[in-house]
Chains A and B, each alone.
Chain A
Amino acid sequence: MMMEAVTVSTDPLQRAYSEKAEAIHVENLHKRFGALEVLKGVSLTAKDGDVVAMIGGSGSGKSTFLRCINFLENPTSGVIRINGEDVKMVSDGHGGMYPSNRRQIERIRSKLGMVFQNFNLWQHMTLIQNVIEVPVHVLGMKRDEAMVIGEQLLERVGLSAKRDVYPAYLSGGQQQRGAIARALAIQPRVMLFDEPTSALDPELVGEVLRVIGDLAKEGRTMLLVTHEMKFAREVASHVMYLHNGIVEEEGPPEELFGSPKSERLKQFIRTVS
Chain B
Amino acid sequence: MSETPIEVPIETFPIHKEKDSSRKAGLLQPHRIVLALIGSALVGSTVYFMRWDWLHNYGDLIMQGLWRTIWILIATVVLGFLLAVPLGLAQASGPAILAVPARVFCTIIRGTPLLIQLWLLYYGLGSLFPQYPWIRGSELWPYLRQAWPYAVLALTLSYAGYEGEVMRGAFASVPKGQLEAARAFGMRRFTIFRRIWLPQAIHRALPTLAGEAVLQLKSTPLVATITVVDLYSVASRVRQDTFLTYEPLLLLAAGYLVITGIIVFLFRRVERLIPSKLG
Contact = CB atoms under 8 A, between A and B. Distances in A.
A98 interface: no
A134 interface: yes
B184 A72 contact: yes
Nearest to B189: A102
B97 to A, nearest CB: 20
A107 interface: yes
Interface string B194-208: 011001100100000
A116 interface: yes
A165 to B, nearest CB: 9
B279 interface: yes
B177 A169 contact: no
Contacts of B191: 137-138
Contacts of B278: 123-124, 168
A168 B275 contact: yes
A76 interface: no
A186 B278 CA distance: 25
B277 interface: yes
B187 A134 contact: yes
A110 interface: yes
A99 to B, nearest CB: 12
A106 B188 CA distance: 7
B279 A138 contact: no
Nearest to B188: A106
Contacts of B200: 122-124
A46 B136 CA distance: 72
Interface string B2-21: 00000000000000000000
B186 A110 contact: yes
A76 B186 CA distance: 21
B187 to A, nearest CB: 6
Interface of B is mostly: helix
Contacts of B135: none
B187 A106 contact: yes
Given A72-B183, A138-B185, A168 B195 contact: no
Contacts of A110: 185-186
A133 B275 contact: no
Contacts of B279: 123, 167-168
A105 to B, nearest CB: 8
A169 B275 contact: yes
Contacts of A186: 185-186
A124 B274 contact: yes
A231 interface: no
Interface in B164-193: 177-178, 180-188, 191
Given A123-B178, A124-B200, A168 B185 contact: no
B53 to A, nearest CB: 54
Interface string A91-126: 000000000000001111111111010101111100
A70 B184 CA distance: 7
A138 B177 contact: no
A114 B181 contact: yes
Interface string A64-101: 00000010100000000000000000000000000000
B123 to A, nearest CB: 45
Given A72-B183, A138-B186, 15 more contacts: A70-B184, A112-B184, A114-B184, A116-B180, A116-B181, A116-B184, A122-B181, A122-B200, A123-B200, A124-B199, A124-B274, A137-B187, A168-B279, A183-B185, A186-B185
Interface of A: 70, 72, 105-114, 116, 118, 120-124, 133-134, 137-138, 166-169, 183, 186
6 contacts: A72-B180, A112-B184, A114-B184, A123-B178, A134-B185, A138-B191
